[in-house]
């Protein structure tokens, strides 16, 4: 049986995890008594067999069952933070805050899971990036969830789309995208949490880099950018772990670095 992940030396300074297809990564963290918590992660995707190939036949559609039947959580993508646990964060024991294409209201019966070739809204070739999305609505892109949706991004404004660089020529600034989430609460024991996600032109991308280091995460999330606000929402659990799951079979998720910062 193939491993669930491998390590790939992308550059001298970048030793990255490549998740196996439809496998998860979970790493807990400790940030007790936070009132302003910030997380960031440098990610990219590659071919299902080639460790460093962002072009080619990566586009994919995972169809909704239809007939109002529920889409399996394992057929959505999950990139963010949750309470410690390794299950797909759709069950009663899971709280998740992060990027996903799950339908944002009630039962998850709306929209295919799609990996699209995209220009990120800034080009015309439509080959600059890969963009995971829900075929029903582009703004099904960020959620606060604990078994049922508690809050979602994009509904009254721009989508919080994530763009994974595809064309090294067109995205010369970097092969990895930095995504991040800021959480705040009024006191350290509260479970009423507000999320902030960088938002510009329907994109949540914070930056792209060819040097996706932990130091660059730290330096970026210290000064949090203009954001879309999600919540406040009362959650069952307080997130204390990174969680990444990529549902596609023609591409794999690469994790270059992660960081958590307790600003208050």
Partner 1 sequence: MPSVVIEAGIIGTYTPYAIQGFEALQVGPLNDSVAIPSTVVSGDCDLDDYAELGGRMP
Distance of CA 163 to the CA centre of its chain: 10
The span from the CA of 32 to the CA of 1, in Å, is: 39
The span from the CA of 255 to the CA of 244, in Å, is: 9
Distance of CA 23 to the CA centre of its chain: 14
Binder among 176, 195, 235, 261 for partner 1 (CB under 8 A) = 261
Question: Does position 69 bind partner 1 by CB under 8 A?
Answer: no
- 106-145 residues in contact with partner 1 (CB under 8 A) are none
Binder among 155, 218, 237, 250 for partner 1 (CB under 8 A) = 218
Q: What is the x/- site pattern for partner 1, positions 5-44, by CB under 8 A?
A: xxx-------xxx-xxxxxxxxxxxxxxx--x--------
Tokens 């067999």: give the residue.
Answer: 49
When the beta carbons of 137 and 218 are compared against partner 1, the nearer one is 218
Exposed (0-12), middle (13-18) or buried (19+): which is 218, by Cβ within 10 Å? middle
Binder among 53, 93, 214, 234 for partner 1 (CB under 8 A) = 214
Kindly determine how many residues on this chain lie close enough to bind partner 1 according to the rule CB under 8 A: 50
Exposed (0-12), middle (13-18) or buried (19+): which is 90, by Cβ within 10 Å? buried
Question: Does position 195 bind partner 1 by CB under 8 A?
Answer: no
Where does this chain bind partner 1 (CB under 8 A)?
1, 3-7, 15-17, 19-33, 36, 72, 74, 86, 88, 213-215, 217-218, 222-224, 241, 245, 247, 255-264
């Amino acid at each position: 049986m193939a491993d669930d992940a491998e390590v790939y030396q992308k550059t001298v300074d970048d030793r990255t995890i490549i998740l196996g297809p439809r496998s998860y990564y979970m790493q807990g963290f400790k940030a007790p008594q936070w009132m302003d918590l910030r997380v960031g992660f440098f990610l990219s995707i590659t071919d299902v067999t080639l460790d460093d190939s962002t072009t080619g036949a990566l586009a994919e559609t995972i169809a909704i069952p239809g007939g109002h039947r529920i889409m399996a959580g394992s057929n959505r993508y999950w990139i963010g933070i949750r309470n410690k646990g390794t299950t797909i964060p759709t069950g009663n024991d899971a709280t998740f805050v992060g990027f996903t294409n799950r339908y944002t209201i009630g039962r998850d019966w709306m929209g295919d899971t799609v990996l699209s070739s995209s220009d990120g809204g800034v080009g015309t070739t439509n080959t600059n990036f890969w963009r995971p999305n829900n075929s029903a609505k582009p703004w099904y892109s960020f959620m606060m969830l604990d078994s049922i949706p508690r809050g979602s991004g994009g509904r009254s404004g721009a989508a919080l789309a994530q763009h994974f660089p595809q064309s090294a020529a067109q995205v010369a600034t970097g092969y990895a995208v930095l995504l991040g989430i800021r959480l705040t609460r009024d006191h350290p024991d509260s479970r009423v949490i507000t999320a902030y996600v960088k938002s510009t032109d329907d994109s949540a991308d914070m930056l792209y880099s060819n040097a996706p280091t932990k130091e660059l995460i730290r330096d970026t999330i210290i000064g949090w950018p203009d954001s879309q606000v999600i919540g406040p929402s009362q959650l069952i659990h307080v997130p204390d772990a990174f969680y990444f799951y990529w549902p596609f079979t023609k591409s794999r998720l690469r994790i270059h670095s992660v960081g958590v910062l307790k600003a208050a």
